[in-house]
Structure 1
Amino acid sequence: MKLNLFKSLPVALAGLFIGTAASAQEPVTSTTPFRTWSIGVNAGVLSPVSPLGGQNDYSNWKSSLGYGLYIKKQITPYFSLRLDGVRGKLKGDNTEPFNSGVVNPSPFRSFETDLNYSASLNAVVNMFNFSAFKQQNNIQLYGSVGGGVTNYQVTTVNNAGASVESEKVDKLVIPVGLGAKFKVSDGINIDLGWTINFVDADNLDGFSRGSNDKYNYAHAGLEFALGKGQQLAFHSPVAVSYDEAVKAKQAADALKGDLDAQKAENAKLRSEMSDLLKDSDNDGVADKLDKCPDTPAGTVVDGSGCPLVAPKPQVTIITEEDRKVVSEAIKNLEFDLGKATIRSKSYASLNRVAGLLVQKNFSLKLAGHTDNTGSKELNLRLSKERAESVKAYLVSQGANASRIEATGYGMGQPIATNKTAAGRQQNRRVEFTLY
């Protein structure tokens, strides 16, 4: 028996690493689309044997053509679900003894199994990307395991030369595999794979010897990623975080440099204007502008250095009716999905809030919140934009803009669980606080 297939697979994998081509990458942002669905076609070699050892029912196994296709859904950069289908033939005979020299005492001379189909659902784990610090990689190693059904029909030839054809049977199969992918472009990958299929039966080759049968499928094929954008399977979140950290540090270094330069300039100006800035009574107003010199320490002064008479504080009284107006506005406030555009059904209650602000000269704090769907940066921006949108509308209805504060908190202050649709609905809100 020749093991050319097993000898050539490591060479192919090594060649795949060595042949990696550097490709330009577009930086990933919070709005970057990813390709998560893909289809693949492949062809390769089927053989009724396992390199992991175990009992072989025929002393001389043969390699036959196999072919397959699959549909895959990439759920995260590291995990996907793949629906596989494989067809082909399995062959073997006893024309030669085992490698140990022992002649197989089988009552059969040879067999041929028509693998009508093998359909399985597999969990695929990306075990390794070529570089954790590249946002999009070109090479990837993966492992897979799953379960499914195989349908086959066996034709055996006994030692007298008579052939017998069995009925078609369906049996459970557990495929366990390894593979490597090489990204040719954003939409096409070369896929090399090797799967050992464990069959829940001892008649895959027509000869039952007390242990379940298994077969190999080593293949090469093409995978086509559907949609637009980069492939999620080759995406590295670690690289995105690293790039963002580098950019943040560069921005901080630039700001620090500007701040240091400004401090030096300010020190120079202070030394040149020491006479102009002299303040003998330490009231914060330079002597040359101080109309009330020698003000007692601790006295609050105005811009001319004279004591400032504080106005009597105004007492703001918020009634239950006022709170009801605000509560109705919160209840009726709706935005277009994923946007900061206020829907028209919210205008009436917002108009009443604007009238309340104008009539009683209240101040209002608007706090925008979101659920945890999407990235932290996107949610923070959306919550801020929605709060600002409400402020802009109230100002358009006559409210004093200086008395309205709009802040976005993103997903950081949930009031309910984000694990349910109802909880996420409660967390998507804009809170109104009168004061």
Structure 2
Amino acid sequence: MKQKLFKTLPVALAALFIGSAAQAQEPMTAPSTSFRTWSIGVNAGALMPFSPLGGKEDFSNWKTNLGYGLYIKKQITPYFALRADGLRGKLTGNNAEPYRDGTVNVSPFSSFSTQLRYSASLSAVVNMFNWSMFKQENGAQFYASAGGGFANYEATTTTAGNVSVTNKNVDKMIVPVGVGAKFRLSQGVNLDLGYTVNFVDGDNMDGYERGGNDKYSYGYAGLEFALGKGKQLAFYSPTAATYDEALAARREAGALKSDLDAQKAENARLRADMGELLKDSDGDGVADKLDKCPNTPAGTVVDGSGCPLVTPKPQIIKETQVVVTEADRKVVRDAIANLEFDLGKSTIRAKSYPTLDRVAALLVEKNFSLKLAGHTDNTGSAELNMRLSKDRAEAIKTYLVSQGANASRIEATGYGKDQPIASNATAAGRQQNRRVEFTLY
């Protein structure tokens, strides 16, 4: 059965390489940063011709000797790596005592000493558990490994009569299976503790072919040095990275909701301010703030200050053609260029009054008609922009009427954000779109 296991080892190793290559092609849930994926390690520890997994032992009393090794590792994903190990040391044992079950060893040999010249193996290493699942860079981990390789050794047995027999330069296939724990001491240095059982494809590693395959164990401690720059991929946790991204998204959503609530409150305040500014209690078309004759009866024709107009006797007026000169247009252009409102409101700033006064005088002098068209950018809701553009046009009309212009000859219309003259994608474009157009006719 075990012979068949070792014969299928090359097929298993091929499958291991194919699987690791395929896994390397899968995208990792890792941020765009550099990782250390290559590392080298050195270790030393106890080398024993014994397996805690059980099985037949050729000698009843095994000894512990020093073993030492090194390895090079390639971390392919945070959970999977390939590791090439080399090991040297000595294995010894004797029959000075009975077996652990009390059975007397009837072996013709009294002791053995095997020089493990080298063992070389390639193993797949799987990180089974990280110490902290909610930190992107962990400090400790547990791992398991399995693979295959070869061992070269020289076994010397001694009989009861002190006759030594040596099997020189023996090569056998091995299957190492192990577990370990790794602790990150710094960004580039780890403490590595492990235990590996090596199954040998042969029964003469101790020089005594009693039946069954030999085994030897290696318990070690060592240091691993990560090569390159950046964090170690082996200690990176994609689960923690996903968790951190979810928390960041939640915080961002909370911030957006706070901004939305603040904008709603500001919109409500603007609506209240504009309602107070444009309030017309007596319905005569002149806002209360500019109405010098409040509470005029319904239907009364009033002037720009809200006071009743004295109706003159009917006169025959000869119709004349209205001619708008370039000088008239300049007066309007100056008024547009100097027109400013308070931010988000329809309140006209005082610096706009002198040029608006000249427009009012022009309307009175030449009896022109004037169309006011209010426009906004696309910031805020369509309803709010439509109301603000209309209110700003009405505020200009109210001011011109207060300066003596004929209210019936001034038309105020709001178009909101529907007629931009520049792109709303830039601050300069949005500034151009926030405007009131004057048209004389």
Task: State the TM-score, normalized to the length of structure 1.
Answer: 0.59
RMSD: 2.9
- The change in CA–CA distance for 1:209 and 1:182 in structure 2 (over 3 A counts) is same
Q: Does 1:286 align with 2:287?
A: no
Cα distance change of structure 1 residues 113 and 304 upon mapping to structure 2, 3 Å threshold: farther
Residue 207 of structure 2 corresponds to which residue in structure 1?
206
1: distance between equivalents of 2:241 and 2:185? 22
> Structure 2 CA distance, aligned partners of 1:90 and 1:82?
24
CA distance in 1, matches of 2:244, 2:392: 53
- Shift of the 200–64 alpha-carbon distance from structure 1 to 2, 3 Å rule, reads same
CA distance in 2, matches of 1:288, 1:113: 100
Show the counterpart of 2:257: 256
Q: Percent identity?
A: 61
> Aligned-pair distance for 1:52?
0.7
Q: Deviation of residue 100 (structure 1)?
A: 2.1
- Report SS of the residue matched to 2:202: coil
Deviation at 1:243, TM superposition (A): 1.2
Question: Take 2:220 and 2:59, find their aligned partners in 1: how far apart are those partners?
Answer: 23
- Separation of aligned partners in 1, 2:59 and 2:207: 10
Distance 1:117 1:236 in 2: 36
Alignment of 1:297-312 (within 5 A): 305=413
Q: Which residue of 2 aligns with 1:114?
A: 115
- Report the equivalent of 2:41: 40
In structure 2, C-alpha distance between the alignment counterparts of 1:306 and 1:240, rounded to whole Å: 51
Map of 2:95 onto structure 1: 94
Counterpart amino acid of residue 390 in structure 2: A
Residues 287 and 174 of structure 1, relative CA distance in 2, 3 Å threshold: closer
Matched with 1:76 is: 77
Matched residue, 1:172: 173
Distance in 2, matches of 1:135 and 1:288, equals 55
Q: 2:161 aligned with 1:53, yes or no?
A: no
In structure 2, the CA distance between the partners of 1:240 and 1:306, relative to structure 1 (3 Å rule), is: closer
For the pair shown, which has the larger CA radius of gyration, 1 or 2?
Answer: 2
2:236 corresponds to which residue? 235
Looking at structure 2, the residues matched to 287 and 199 of structure 1 have their Cα atoms a distance apart, in angstroms, of 93
> Aligned pair in 2 of structure 1 residues 286, 236: CA closer, same or farther (>3 Å)?
same
Contact 1:154-1:166 at 8 Å conserved across structures? yes
Quickly say closer, same or farther: Cα 1:192–1:287, change in 2 above 3 A: closer
* Cα-to-partner distance string for 1:87-117 (whole Å, 9 max, x where unaligned): 0011010011112222101010100111110
Task: Give the 3 Å change call, closer, same or farther, for CA 266–152 of structure 1 in structure 2.
Answer: same
Whichever residue aligns with residue 137 of structure 2, its letter is Q
Is the 2:120–2:151 contact (alpha carbons within 8 Å) kept by the matching residues of 1? yes
Amino acid at match of 1:130: W
In 2, Cα distance between equivalents of 1:95 and 1:42: 31
Q: AA paired with 1:262?
A: Q
Runs (5+) with no aligned partner, structure 2: 1-28, 280-284, 286-382, 398-410, 420-428, 430-441
Q: TM-score, normalised by structure 2?
A: 0.58
Structure 1 window deviating more from structure 2 (256-265 vs 145-154): it is 256-265
- d(CA) in 2 for partners of 1:259, 1:306: 26
Look up the equivalent residue of 1:289 and give its one-letter code.
Answer: A
SS of the residue corresponding to residue 144 of structure 1 reads: strand
- Residue 373 of structure 2 corresponds to residue 269 of structure 1: no
Closer, same or farther: CA 270–222 of 1 in aligned 2, 3 Å: same
- Deviation string 1:3-24 (CA, Å, 9 cap, x unpaired) is xxxxxxxxxxxxxxxxxxxxxx
Q: In structure 2, the residue corresponding to 1:215 is in which secondary structure?
A: strand
Q: Cα–Cα, structure 1 residues 225 and 274, in superposed 2: closer, same or farther, change >3 Å?
A: same
Question: How far off is 1:184 after superposition?
Answer: 0.4
Deviation at 1:209, TM superposition (A): 1.7
Tell me, in whole angstroms, the C-alpha distance in 1 between the residues paired with 2:63 and 2:103.
18
In structure 1, the partner of 2:194 is: 193
Counterpart for residue 161 of structure 1: 162
In structure 2, C-alpha distance between the alignment counterparts of 1:207 and 1:137, rounded to whole Å? 47
Following TM superposition, by how much is the alpha carbon of 1:277 offset from its aligned partner in structure 2, in angstroms?
Answer: 7.3
Tell me, in whole angstroms, the C-alpha distance in 2 between the residues paired with 1:157 and 1:288: 111
* Aligned residue identity for 2:77: T
Distance 1:277 1:39 in 2: 80
Change (3 A) 1:286 1:276: farther
Shift of 1:250: 1.2
Contact 2:118–2:152 (Cα < 8 Å) also in 1: yes
Aligned mates of 2:114, 2:200 — CA distance in 1 = 13
Change (3 A) 1:151 1:264: same
> Residues 276 and 286 of structure 1 are in contact (CA less than 8 Å); yes or no, is this contact kept in structure 2?
no
2:73 & 2:79 partners in 1: Cα distance?
A: 13
Question: Which residue matches 1:340?
Answer: none
Aligned to 2:393, the other structure's residue is in SS state coil
Asked whether the 8 Å contact 1:276–1:288 carries over to 2, the reply is no
Please report how far the alpha carbon of residue 306 of structure 1 lies from its aligned counterpart in structure 2 after TM superposition. 8.7
Number of residue pairs the alignment of both structures matches: 273
> Could you list the per-position Cα deviations for residues 41-72 of structure 1 after superposition, in whole angstroms to 9, with x for gaps in the alignment?
00001100110111110000001110000000
| Structure 1 residue runs without a partner (length 5+) | 1-27, 293-302, 312-400, 402-435
Aligned-pair distance for 1:29?
7.9
The one-letter code of the counterpart of 1:96 is: E
Q: Can you list the C-alpha shifts for 1:305-326, whole angstroms capped at 9, x where unaligned?
A: 399xx99xxxxxxxxxxxxxxx
Residue identity opposite 1:105 in structure 2: V
Contact 1:78–1:127, Cα closer than 8 Å, also in 2? yes
Deviations 1:366-388 (A, max 9, x none): xxxxxxxxxxxxxxxxxxxxxxx
For residues 97 and 254 of structure 2, the distance between their equivalents in structure 1, rounded to whole angstroms, comes to 74
Three-state SS of the structure 1 residue aligned to 2:212 is coil
Instruction: Give SS of 1:142's match.
Output: strand
1:156-214: CA deviations, max 9, x gaps? 00122100111211111000000001110001000000000000001111111220111
Q: SS at the partner of 1:133?
A: coil
Equivalent position SS for 2:129: strand
Name the SS of the counterpart of 2:83 in structure 1.
strand
Q: 1:347 maps to what in 2?
A: none
Superposition deviation, residue 247 in structure 1:
1.6
* Structure 1 CA distance for aligned equivalents of residues 129 and 208 of structure 2: 40
